[in-house]
Chains A and B, each alone.
Chain A
Amino acid sequence: MTAMRFAFTDDQKMLRDTVRDVLQRECGPEVVRSVWEGRPEAAAAVWATLAETGVIGMTASKDAGGLAMSELDSILPFEEIGYAALPGPLVDTIAVGIPLLDAAGTNSQKDQWLESVATGNGKIIVAFEDQAVVPYADSADVLIAERGGAPHCVPMSEVSVVPEPSVDRARQLARIDFEESKAHRMRDDVDGHALLSLAKERATLATAAQLVGLSRRMLDMAVQYAKDREQFGKPIGAQQAVKHRLANALIQQEFARPMVYRAGWSMATSQTTNEIDVSLAKIYAGEAATFVAKQALQVHGAIGYTIECDLHMWMKRAWALAATRGDAAFHRERVGRQVL
């Protein structure tokens, strides 16, 4: 019997498990913390291992040696990357950078970057025109930037980078600028504007997927803490006030997930509802992650309010990602324009 089916395939789940295993082994909280403390090279090993699994090249076309995987195929890996709070521009590289380079890069741009990035030897950051600051400029090799409505591909050696301290220190924010030259322009025989629009939807969707992962991790931490921490002679998680807080967190998170998965399917199958579906995904995932962050902090109590406790690294990433690639107000407006 065939029927409409809302579930991932075994292949998609296998890819998720592969990424999950690598991250579990090589990207524990201590790695995130090292990057936080100013040692971005701490995440180099996990990046290399992920490249070996083929996950970085997965969105490249088959001609370019990739797996031509869709926005739906990459949702679960991105969720795992959020779960691990992996620092670095991996998601933008996979979701936005590689497909854009592949579709709009000149032959020399592709020769220079595509294979090296797909095999883990280069990192792409992506900057759209509305962004005042971008993350990970310090550790990237190449910038793909929107300028004058057209995509540009600029080696980081030609980009001026002015760091701006960020609350999530692993994100290494910076203002960037570059002197435009002909070599930076991408192909002019493709519709650069349309490709950039698509890239923005992909960047937003990928951010939403990470937010789901961040949310799951914070909830896991809070539940574990509520089971372990005893007061009044019993685990605090036996108290109804704590239970209800965590139940609310789970409900909000679990209602966000299908919105993100649905948007992944819409993008992968080019539905006419793409934009609205991506907006719904971003709103629900962002609001779930920030809500779960707040509940997790409260359940942890004072220890959660320290830098010693790992929770803050996930919480700050959630704040950052919920606000970037269009915050809830931006996306609600986009939905509102279509619905009302």
Chain B
Amino acid sequence: MDLDFTADEEAFRKECRAWLEANVPTEALRSGDTREGFRQHIAWENVLFDAGWAAVSWPKRYGGREASLVEWLIFEEEYYRARAPSRVTQNGIFLLAPTLFEFGTDEQKERILRPMARGDVTWAQAWSEPNAGSDLAALTSTARRVEGGWRLTGQKTWSTRATFCDMAYGLFRTDPAQTRHRGLSYFMFPLRTEGVTVRGVDRLDGDEGFAEIFLEDVFVPAADIIGEVDQGWKVAMATTSSERGLTLRSPGRFMATASRLVDLYHRHRDRSDPVLRDQVIQAWMDAQAYRWFTFQTVTRMMQGESIGADSSMNKVFWSEMDVRTHETALALIGELLELDEGAESAVDQGQWMKGFQFALAGPIYAGTNEIQRNIIAERVLGLPRK
């Protein structure tokens, strides 16, 4: 065990920090889940990519810098520490790309990865359907084989930023004779094309972050299936494991939130009491716990282990920690918590209430925490399914 960062890792941290200090916009961008804010965030993604920071762990040929997983965690720590803009390219870079690296063809990787990482082509997820949420295998959207490709029909929902994005990815039934998770295929499909209607849905926090996608006979070339036809479930599960694991929510994010909470505590100390004080300490400690748990996980991965169902533990931990941390902040703020972004009297520009509402989504997206607990119980502890 050696928990000191190596000289190379320290040098990498220094380089990250220097670049971020010089380049992170001093004025906060509008929410990336609004139309105007999305444009601002994409402009930032262009800057990140052109300087080689958009996807540090990727191969150089796709615009990355071949950073190790530890270095990637360091980059994330520095990124959130610098309060750099949220990543609207995340569903591409952190969720679709790992799937492409594992299952994609060379042609797909060449064509898709660089524009994805630069933000020139933006990606949304399209998994859930009106009657297939936690029970994803109940989905009913179909793909019909035609000359040169497929035609997609059906409805997807809770698709984050699909109103603004160019492309989406998700599962469609390619074999009508099969049921449940058999006979599904993993498609990438355009959102701005004939037969596609995207309707924005305002989220809890008021942003148009969600969308429903209606597909009617939408043509997709055969080259836009990832993995083999009818094998989509297996491919999709690889994505969900990245999503629940560390690529979606690295420790840096929560360490930054915890340190902002400590700062808020100092400014609102007169409102505090021993219980709240303990909660502030707990929030700080939990971020540390997530950090060390993650470094342990990353070492396992660097030794070639696959973390599989263990990633469900990450997801439950970070999502519930994030809610608690924001609840503590709101308790320190008191009645002014009600003030929305833009209100002059709001504490910290209303970011804590905004963050709280976003945090509340954590136990729901990427597989609800109820589903995660089933996975932990059945696949890690070996309890019977039925």
Task: Give A residues with C-beta under 8 Å from B.
Answer: 1-9, 72, 223, 226-227, 234-235, 237-238, 240, 242-244, 246-248, 250-251, 254-259, 261-262, 265-266, 269, 280, 283-284, 332, 335-336, 339-340
Contact = CB atoms under 8 A, between A and B. Distances in A.
Interface string B290-329: 1011011011101100000000010011000000000000
B61 interface: no
B293 A7 contact: no
Given A244-B377, A251-B376, A280-B285, A237 B383 contact: yes
15 contacts: A6-B295, A6-B299, A238-B383, A242-B383, A244-B373, A244-B374, A247-B380, A250-B381, A251-B313, A255-B290, A255-B313, A257-B296, A259-B292, A269-B4, A340-B262
Interface stretch (B46-54, B77-85, B240-248, B274-282): B274-282
B386 A238 contact: yes
A247 B377 contact: yes
Contacts of B285: 280, 283-284, 332, 335
A246 to B, nearest CB: 6
Across chains A and B, which 3 residue pairs bring their CB atoms closest together, nearest first?
A243-B377, A247-B373, A247-B376
A226 B378 CA distance: 12
Given A6-B296, A280-B289, A340-B262, A246 B383 contact: yes
A21 B129 CA distance: 52
B172 interface: no
Nearest to B375: A247
Nearest to B315: A251
B356 interface: no
B281 A258 contact: no
Contacts of A7: 1, 296, 299-300, 303
Contacts of B382: 223, 227
Contact of A262 (B3, B290, B316, B317): B3
Q: Which secondary structure dominates where chain A touches chain B?
A: helix
B68 interface: yes
B265 interface: yes
Interface of B: 1-6, 8-9, 68, 70, 262, 265-266, 277-278, 280-282, 284-285, 288-290, 292-293, 295-296, 298-300, 302-303, 313, 316-317, 370, 372-374, 376-378, 380-386
Contacts of A6: 1, 3, 292, 295-296, 298-299
- Counting chain B CB atoms within 10 Å of each CB, the highest count among A72, A226, A340 belongs to A340
A72 B374 CA distance: 34
A332 B281 contact: yes
A254 B373 CA distance: 14
A268 to B, nearest CB: 8
Nearest to A222: B381
Given A4-B2, A4-B4, A247-B381, 9 more contacts: A2-B8, A3-B302, A5-B2, A237-B377, A238-B383, A250-B380, A254-B313, A258-B289, A336-B281
B289 to A, nearest CB: 5
B254 to A, nearest CB: 13
Contacts of A238: 383-386
Contacts of A259: 288-289, 292
A258 B4 CA distance: 15
B316 A251 contact: yes
A4 B3 contact: yes
A202 B205 CA distance: 48
A257 B317 CA distance: 14
B293 A255 contact: yes
A310 to B, nearest CB: 19
Contact of B384 (A9, A237, A248): A237
B293 A261 contact: no
A158 B278 CA distance: 44
B378 A72 contact: no
Contact of B288 (A227, A280, A332): A280
A89 to B, nearest CB: 27
Contact of B376 (A250, A256, A262): A250
A235 B384 contact: yes
Contacts of A4: 2-6, 9, 70, 295, 299
B313 A227 contact: no
Nearest to A334: B281
A339 B377 contact: no
Contacts of A240: 370, 374
Nearest to A335: B281
A258 B383 contact: no
